[in-house]
Each structure stands twice: as structure tokens, then as C-alpha cells.
Amino acid sequence: MELHQAIAQRRTVKQFDPHHRLSAEEFETLINQAMLAPTSFNLQHWRFVRIEDSTLRADMCTAAWGQVQVEQASELLVITADIKAWEKSPARYWQNVDAETRSMVVDMLTEFYRGRESLQRDEAIRSAAFAAQNLMLSARAMGYDSCPMIGFDADAVGQLIKLPADHLIVMLLAIGKPAAQPQARGGQLALHEVLLSNRFPDPIHKTTKDKTTRCTRPQRTSI
């Protein structure tokens, strides 16, 4: 399947065939494709927690407020991100370049992220989201569907997977063979509403004029 087809056909599916399983080769392909996602300074913040234990799946379903796809899907991944990836032996992210380049990049990223907690968090989420999109498109190209989820108790899921303190959960992602056709798309916004040329337009300031009604006495006519 071509990329454009995978993008056009990707849909969020809520019902999966509970008996279908991805092969080991298919699953490995998905993860390898996810790992090719763009990531700032090649930090690769993403960490994928594969939920294989059936009891844990049931607990995850409870934490996800009973959403059936959590248990039915062939694969359930918790997409997490390492907020502190930038300071964890960053030279290893650049092992394939020469020593001079590696040292320069490590100095740059350290200076860029140090003391900027909001940026560290935002960048981790961005990287993991890019990887999740790769997963969803790769799954569609292989004939599977997916369901990204944010509807769950993040604290409960974090406890179930023993989430480290310096990591965060970006989403749950169910992948598998669809058991039902998805609903029609809700509707895309018009192109002119989402595509702007060069900059946003100036805000329109609405002014209200103070309109006062003057009551005047009718002139008396002399007879």
C-alpha cells in the first residue's frame, strides 16, 4: 500500500477481532518503523510498553473505563516518553558520527535543554507522538487498524506499568484486525480555515457605539 493510501485509509477503530494475533515479524516491523520517526537531537524519547499479560490487559481495561478495544486488540501499547532523555548519556544518540561532531552536538543539546523543564516535556511528547503516528500508518499499510486513546486514568496506568518518575504517558495505542467498519468521518475543516499565508490575520476589534435615544417633546401647534 502506498503512503498516500495509508494516510487516507487510516481510521480510529473501536472494535477488533479478539482472536487475531500479529506475527512476531509484523510486530517487529511496526516497532522498527516507529523508531524511524523524527526526534529533536535524535534523543528518541519514546518507550513502548507492550501489554501482553491477559490479567494486566484486564486491569488496563478497567483503568481505561471499560473500553473494549483495550482487551480485544491484537496489540496494546502504552506510548511513553522519557522527559530526561537529553541528560542520559547523550553521546550514545550520536554513536555513528565522528567524535568531533558527537561532542559538538552533545554540548548543543545539553545547553538547549538544561533548566527548561517545559521544553523537555514538550519535546518528549512531540517525539513520542511522531512515533505513534508512524505506528498507525505502518499498521494501516499492513492491513491493520488502530485506536489511539487518551481516555484513561493516567495515574492508574502508570502504576500498572511501573512508570518511572521521569517518564510520562502520551497515549494508549490499540492495533489489530478490525471487527467492524468505522463510522463516517466527522468532517474536515475547510482548507482556508487551516491553511494561512505567511501570518495570521490581524484581529478584528469590534467596537460598539454608545447609542442614546433622545426623547423630544413634540412641538405644540398654535391654532
pLDDT one-digit tens code per residue, 127-141: 999 999 999 999 999
Q: Please give the model's pTM, rounded to 2 decimal places.
A: 0.89
Identify the pLDDT of residue 223: 39
Tell me the C-alpha distance between 70 and 66, whole Å.
8
Strand partners, 168: 81
Cα separations (Å) of 28 from 96, 144, 177, 192, 206? 23, 14, 17, 40, 57
User: For 168-196, what is the HEC assignment?
Assistant: EEEEEEEEECECCCCCCCCCCCCHHHHCC
Identify the pLDDT of residue 221: 43
Find cell 413634540 and name the residue. 218
**For 92-180, where are the alpha helices, taking DSSP H only?**
99-113, 117-141, 154-160
pLDDT of residue 213 exceeding 70, the answer is no
When mean pLDDT is compared over 18-32, 172-186, 204-218, the highest value belongs to 18-32
2: pLDDT confidence band, cut at 50, 70 and 90? Answer: very high
pLDDT of residue 125 exceeding 70, the answer is yes
Tell me the C-alpha distance between 207 and 219, whole Å.
35
Identify the pLDDT of residue 183: 87
List phi, psi (to 5°) of 199: -160, 165
- Average model confidence (pLDDT) across the chain: 94
220: pLDDT confidence band, cut at 50, 70 and 90? Answer: very low
Identify the pLDDT of residue 9: 95
Looking at 4-18, 65-79, 149-163, 207-221, which range is the least confident one? 207-221
Identify the pLDDT of residue 210: 53
Q: Are the beta carbons of 125 and 168 closer than 8 angstroms?
A: yes
Identify the pLDDT of residue 222: 43
Identify the pLDDT of residue 212: 52
pLDDT of residue 207 exceeding 80, the answer is no
pLDDT of residue 216 exceeding 60, the answer is no
146: pLDDT confidence band, cut at 50, 70 and 90? Answer: very high
84: pLDDT confidence band, cut at 50, 70 and 90? Answer: very high
Identify the pLDDT of residue 204: 86
Identify the pLDDT of residue 205: 79
Query: What CATH number should be reported for the domain whose range is 21-178?
Result: 3.40.109.10
Task: Kindly list the domain boundaries of the chain, sorted by start residue.
Answer: 21-178
